[in-house]
Amino acid sequence: MSVDLSAQIANMSVKNLFLNASGIHCQTEQELDELMNEPVSGAMVTKSMTPKSRFGNPLPRYYRLANGSINSMGLPNQGFDYYMDYLKNHDQKKPIIVSVAGMSKEEDLEMLHQLQDNDDYQGLTELNLSCPNVIGKPQMAYDFEAADDLLHEVFSFYKKPLGIKLPPYFDLVHFDMIAEVLNKYPLSHVNTINSVGNGLWIDTNSETVVLKPKGGFGGVGGSMVLPTALANVRGLRQRLNDDIKIIGTGGVTNGRDAFAHILCGAEMVSIGTQLYEEGLQTFERVTRELTDIMEAKGYTSLGDFRGKLKVIED
């Protein structure tokens, strides 16, 4: 049986729904080239970029856990011009989503103005309002009024496809509140979730934290955040306008996890911690596992089950 894994967000059509999570294997030219030439994934996203290059937080800033990871990277990246040069000088064998994450509202607007004025770039852009690991920088997506003000200003001039990266929400009323904001704007998509902010892990042998930045606090990812990620995909899909697509991110280690994201309403699925730990071969394995599940259930396309999660009735 032939299985169709294609998906579409705005003007971006892909043959395979999987892509990397921003921050994973996408910071340098070599990493981007490797992603570009990886034969299975349908698209790729850049490291969230700032106007100038950043080293990020001091080391150690990543730690592997038994069922996930904790990190406090602090937006290390090569800077806006570096990634724009990459787009200009490399053949794009698959679509690239440009992720931007300024250190302030003014920096976000500066980069988006440059993207709007760049006639060579017509692809998707993703505005990251959700990085939990930059010292002294709060997550704007938790300030609903500030997020609304920023998006209002952005869409006064930005006419290309634009989505946003969101942090996890934990209260149903917060799903209502952020959806009320987002539904005002012609967003191409939301990407949910970023890591669960400000977790803490302790090495009990040495009685110390495992990360240096922020006294050890960091964003939690990997399989342990899957329930939270699924809840956010489901909660937002139930509330957002139909034309705002969802990229499901968080906790995907196998095809079954991806299947669950799609059941909750994800158009595409990105992989973070598992990709970091296993490498680019993750895409082939997870794609095969998802295909096997679909074939066993008699599904021939993602649309056969996307958003069709069943609930327990009385």
Which residues are marked as active site?
A: 130-131
Alpha helices in the chain (DSSP H): 29-37, 80-89, 105-117, 144-154, 172-182, 226-237, 255-264, 273-278, 282-297
9, 300 Cβ separation under 8 angstroms: no
- Residues comprising the chain, all counted: 314
Provide the residue type at 34 as one letter: E
Contact criterion met (CB below 8 Å) for 102 and 110: yes
- Which residue is listed with tokens 């200003």? 153
What is the DSSP annotation of 206-233?
Answer: TTEES--GGGG-EEEESGGGHHHHHHHH
3 state SS of 65 = strand
- CB environment 127-143: b (16+ within 10 A), e (fewer): bbbbbbbbeeeebbbbe
Question: What DSSP designation does 141 have?
Answer: G
